[in-house]
Amino acid sequence: MIKEIRTRFAPSPTGYMHIGNLRTALYAFLYARKNNGKFILRIEDTDTERYVEGAVDIILDTLKKAGMDYDEGPKKGGPYGPYVQSERKNEYMKYALELVEKGEAYYCFCSKERLESLPDVNGARKYDKHCLRLSKEEVEKRLKAGEPFVIRQNIPEHGKTTYHDMVFGDIEVDNADLEDNILIKSDGMPTYNFANVIDDHLMNVTVVMRGIEYLSSTPKYNLLYKAFGWEQPLYMHLPPIMKDATHKLSKRNGDASFNDLMEKGFLPEAVVNYIALLGWSPKGNEEKLSMNQLIEMFDVEGISKSQSIFDEQKLRWLNGLYIKELPFDDFVEKASPYIAKSKVAGKYDEKKLCKLVQSRIDTLDDIASLVDFLEEFGEYDIELFRHKKLKTTPEISLEVLPEIREKFAAIDDWNETNIHEAMTKLVEEKQVKNGIVMWPVRVALSGKESTPGGATELADLIGKEETLKRIDFSVNLLKQKLNA
């Protein structure tokens, strides 16, 4: 009987946080919070060859941005620290030697050449227990001579190992299909396979969540628990997140990491929300869920056994909902760096630009493409003035634009209200529908068929002087093209 739910996220500091890793962390976090348990962060840096400088900071920063506050871990401490594997090196060797004494592990002195000479079976070379048969005296002689060695797990050659997975049910594996894992490498560092078992036990981890690729190798870990006489944790293996029907999502293949998505203008809350739904279905049809809602609704029954496909268009849609619901001042703050990267940087009132785009974008990165037209104004096709539904034509536009210019020129206090009143007044005077005036002004100010915001918003944004200048340009363009 588990007294306390204790989950862990144990990433390797090998670069940016990819989406699959982040989902594992999220599910572990949600399960712990849902069950009033503890969520632990442990850095598994035993693979020194793949270690990337600064990667630990990326992990900490990602969890913070994603809203996953861990209870124990690096920089925070806790009763079972240290929480970085490289700082626990002596612990692993002690336990490995205990297994050697029990006959559950053994020293292996095999050279790289000998290992490579083993038969290749289905693309893999399984170790043949050669060094298990060395006498105790031979082993001691080689150790005293300083020969390099690893310590391997002694897995039974017969029988089966069975365990229960919370997602996939009962799993049974023939011991004969398992290889004698290396527990301690020649540099004295533990392998992932060994260190995670020792640390999970010493840190009292009661629920282990990880990718489905470990489903069939978990019996090796359970044999270690059995050898030590320790209680096994509960297991929850998660199906993969796929790029498409046949390819896993992978940073190596150039697929987006959490940081990549942030740089593309996705909001962390939206990414977390979307990732939660990649492999888990809440009860009900609602898809936009806050972290508190995710915690409240998360359950193991909702986790799928099938792979999920990462759909960036679906993420964009969800992100757009979050952007539209942002308080305006928050949106201005988040949009500011993206406006600074656009062609209009520093040329227009930032709040007016934000008002123009907030309801019309799915990511913050969309801002530049939406507003750059303001600085790309020049000669354009006068057929843009032709609008079948509004019944406008270049000829009608040439009649309307000089008249609206006159009214705009008379405005002393240039603002949206006065601009709209001027256009409405012309509509009344001409006894036409709004579009007969609004559409020509919109095209004349933008030179585009589609723009964020209407004529009123555009005129207010670019200012009186630029508005009059663009109307003059458009009138001359119409005269030139119609008289050609």
- Cα 7 to Cα 235: distance, rounded to the nearest angstrom: 10
Whether residue 109 has pLDDT greater than 90: yes
Give the pLDDT score at 252: 62
Q: How far apart are CA 412 and CA 469, in angstroms?
A: 17
Cα–Cα dist 278/287, whole Å: 11
Residue 386 has pLDDT above 70, yes or no: yes
Q: Give the per-residue pLDDT at 427.
A: 96
Q: Would the pLDDT of 383 be above 90? A: yes
pLDDT surpasses 70 at 169: yes
Residue 443 class from Cβ within 10 Å (0-12 exposed, 13-18 middle, 19+ buried)? buried
Higher pLDDT, 270 or 45: 270
Report CA-CA distances (Å) from 148 to 1, 111, 126, 142, 188.
Answer: 43, 9, 20, 9, 10
> What is the per-residue pLDDT across 191-214, written as a single tens digit (0 to 9) for each?
888 999 999 999 999 999 999 999
Which class for 412: exposed (0-12), middle (13-18), buried (19 or more C-beta within 10 A)? Answer: exposed
In this prediction, residue 1 has a pLDDT band, given cuts at 50, 70 and 90, of low
Q: What is the tens place of the pLDDT at every residue in 84-104?
A: 988 888 889 999 999 999 999
In the chain, the largest separation of any two C-alpha atoms, in whole Å, equals: 110
- Over residues 445-462, the mean pLDDT reads 93
Calculate the CA dihedral of residues 280, 278, 7, 283 and round it to 10 degrees.
-20
Pick left, alpha or beta for residue 431 (phi over 0 → left; psi -120 to 50 → alpha; otherwise beta): left
Would residue 54 be called left, alpha or beta, if left means φ above 0 and alpha means ψ between -120 and 50 degrees?
left
> Are 33 and 67 within 8 A, CB to CB?
no
The three-class DSSP label of residue 172 is strand
Determine the pLDDT at residue 193.
87
Burial 262-280 (b: 16+ CB within 10 A, else e): bebbbbbbbbbbbbbbbbb
Q: At what angle do helices 394-409 and 416-430 cross, to 10 degrees?
A: 130
In this prediction, residue 436 carries a pLDDT of 97
In this structure, the dihedral spanned by the alpha carbons of residues 197, 202, 203 and 209, taken in order and rounded to 10 degrees, is 20
Task: Name the band, by pLDDT with cuts 50, 70 and 90, for residue 127.
Answer: very high
Which residues, listed in sequence order, are joined to residue 173 by a DSSP beta bridge? 161
User: Across 310-434, where does the E strand assignment appear?
Assistant: none
Residue 279 pLDDT: 93
**CB of 30 closer than 8 Å to CB of 10:** no
Closest C-alpha among 308, 220, 327 to residue 267: 327
Angle at 20 between CA 92 and CA 15, to 5 degrees: 65
Q: What angle do CA 245, 250, 253 make, to 5 degrees?
A: 95
Share of the chain above pLDDT 70, in %: 98
Closest among 300, 257, 263 to 281, alpha carbons compared: 300
The reported pLDDT for the residue numbered 248 is 76
| pLDDT confidence of residue 484 | 67
Paired strand residues for 170: 164
pLDDT tier at 247, thresholds 50, 70, 90? confident
- Over residues 57-78, the pLDDT tens digits come to 999 999 999 999 999 999 999 9
CA atoms of 199 and 410, how far apart (whole Å):
77
Kindly tell me if the per-residue pLDDT of 476 is higher than 90.
yes
Torsion, CA 330, CA 334, CA 338, CA 343, rounded to 10: 20
pLDDT at residue 256, rounded to an integer: 76
pLDDT (tens digit per residue) in 274-284: 999 999 999 88
Q: 181 and 127 in contact (C-beta within 8 Å)?
A: no
For range 450-477, the mean pLDDT: 95
Q: Which residues of 245-257 are buried (b: 16+ CB within 10 A; e: fewer)?
A: eeebbebeeebbb
Mean pLDDT score, 375-397: 94
The residue annotated as part of the active site, out of 76, 126, 251, 352, is 251
Mean pLDDT on 237-248: 86
Whether pLDDT at 245 is above 90: no
pLDDT at 251 over 70: no
The Cα 238–Cα 9 span in angstroms is 13
Q: Is 251 a known active-site residue?
A: yes
CB atoms within 10 A of CB 119: 8
Task: Give me 343's structure tokens.
Answer: 């062609």
Q: Is the pLDDT of residue 384 over 70?
A: yes
Task: Tell me what the pLDDT averaged over the chain comes to.
Answer: 94
CA distance 339 to 317: 21
Stretch (H or E) spanning 86: none
Average pLDDT over residues 352-360: 95
Lowest-confidence region among 10-14, 39-43, 46-50, 241-245: 46-50
**How is 37-80 classified by DSSP, letter by letter?**
-EEEE-B----TTT--TTHHHHHHHHHHHHT---SBBTTTB-TT
Q: Has residue 46 got a pLDDT over 80? A: no
Residue 424 has pLDDT above 70, yes or no: yes
CA distance 348 to 333: 16
For 298-320, the pLDDT digits (tens) are 999 999 999 999 999 999 999 99
Residue 124 has pLDDT above 90, yes or no: no
Instruction: Give the mean model confidence (pLDDT) for residues 346-361.
Output: 94
Which pLDDT value is given to residue 86? 86
Residue tagged 């919109």 (tokens): 442
Contact call for residues 409 and 442 (beta carbons, < 8 A): no
CB-neighbour burial class of residue 15 (10 A; exposed 0-12, middle 13-18, buried 19+): middle
